Amino acid sequence: MAKSKPLVSIAQISPKLGELKSNLKLHLRGVDYAVELGASLIVFPELSLTGYLLKDLTADVAQRVGGSEILRELERASERIAILAGFVEEGDNYIYYNSAGYFESGELKSVHRKVYLPTYGMFDEERYFSPGSSFRAFDTKNGRMAVLLCEDYWHPSSVYLAAQDGAVVHAYMSNTPLRGMTLPDEITSADISERMARISSQLYGVYTIYANRVGYEDGIAFSGRSRVISPTGGVIARADHQEEELLVAEIDPEQVRRARVFFPLLGDEKIDLVHRELTRIRNRRYQLDEEE
């Protein structure tokens, strides 16, 4: 009998700004629906538990890992299905992070803190959040995974590091706004995100699960179009750009193998060369001695 392929889901939702309890219920409803459909993973957008434009609400909605009933609810729900959700994390000394938690088998297994905090256009994240300091892949029931939060994904080095750390699934969680129009049926911000995901998936032979939100905050519209991208760069499933939706798609580990055999760029990478040249560039840029 052929082994069944994992079914993953994306909850393209419109969370309410600052309303933790209401947003938790939205997550649990998504979990119920995804379980009913037979999915083994549900991925929510960036800051899915809080909404995005928090500003001075940041500290009020922050959750401390190990001491949050909201996070414990998701731990309990993860006994039924793996969950990836976004939240504001309170670290030591009242430092706050834009974080994503991966929940599986009743536990919070991994937390990623957003590294690149945008401060251009409508974005002012660095005023309210501290940056994370690493990109790390981790093992899950659906294969080795890495999480990249919105702006993280726009830096090629982030995706490169995730792939080099063995990730076969990149979870790209976002709050991408609707910014700019080119053709009548093409949204620039959504189009760029999709092109990046398709190219990165093809270059590294990985699945990309892009979870974006919809709805409005403070006059800003979010662009939706969540999608699942195959290891050869094809779009397996895509959601609408306006409506809340639960998107489902199969991921097949065999497709990762086939993609990397056909296009073996990841295996051909010269990590020692990259490390050496980056060290040289860093030393020159910051006027450091070579031995530093």
Q: In this predicted structure, what is the pLDDT of residue 3?
A: 59
| Dist. CA 164–CA 170, nearest whole Å | 12
> In sequence order, which residues have a C-beta less than 8 Å from that of residue 98 and are 6 or more positions away?
46, 47, 86, 88, 89, 113, 114, 117, 125, 129, 149
Strands 96-104 and 107-113: antiparallel
Reported as a single tens digit per residue, the pLDDT across 28-73 is 999 999 999 999 999 999 999 999 999 999 999 999 999 999 999 9
- Residue 194: what pLDDT? 86
Helices (H), 145-226: 156-164, 188-204
Mean pLDDT of all residues belonging to the chain: 93
Please compute, for residue 152, the number of CA atoms within 13 A of its CA located in the half-sphere on the CB side: 31
**pLDDT value of position 180:** 60
Express as a percent the part of the chain with pLDDT over 70. Answer: 94
Dump pLDDT digits (tens) for 247-274: 999 999 999 999 999 999 998 999 999 9
Residue 165 confidence (pLDDT) above 90: yes
Instruction: Provide, rounded to the nearest whole percent, the portion of the chain with pLDDT above 90.
Output: 84
pTM of the full structure? 0.94
Is the pLDDT at 241 greater than 90? The verdict is: no
Looking at residue 1, what is its pLDDT? 47
Total Cβ atoms within 10 A of residue 111: 17
Distance (Å, whole) CA 278 – CA 282? 6
Which domains are present in the chain? 7-265 (3.60.110.10)
Each residue of 63-110: pLDDT tens digit?
Answer: 999 999 999 999 999 999 999 999 999 999 999 999 999 999 999 999
Question: Mean pLDDT throughout 158-169?
Answer: 97
Q: Please check the confidence at residue 275 and state whether its pLDDT lies above 90.
A: yes
> What local confidence, expressed as pLDDT, does residue 182 receive?
57
- Whole-number pLDDT of residue 193: 84
Mean local confidence (pLDDT), 213-229: 93
